[in-house]
């Protein structure tokens, strides 16, 4: 699945990944997919809450491997209406 927009938030701590994703999603159209790369260990849970409360769909959460900042996780979010 290709993303319409990619956002690299590796190395950023809560709440920055969610805040940057929210800003990116505001500039996107409904149905488009945002890919977010994160290393903050609480980010996947934060994004579950963010998507549920914001009306977006968390399509996938995939662990890609370890980095100096922690595990690299790719999240895919479909913008809701």
Task: Return the active site residues.
Answer: 14
SS percent in the chain: helix, strand, coil, step 5: 30, 40, 35
Task: Quote the CA–CA distance of 51 and 59 in Å, as a whole number.
Answer: 10
């Amino acid at each position: 699945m290709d993303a319409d927009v990619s956002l690299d938030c590796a190395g950023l701590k809560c709440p920055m990944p969610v805040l940057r994703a929210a800003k990116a999603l505001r500039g996107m159209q409904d149905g488009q997919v945002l890919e977010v790369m994160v290393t903050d260990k609480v980010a996947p849970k934060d994004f579950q809450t963010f998507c549920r409360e914001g009306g977006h769909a968390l399509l996938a959460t995939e662990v890609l491997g370890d980095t100096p900042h922690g595990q690299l996780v790719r999240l895919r979010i479909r913008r809701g209406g």
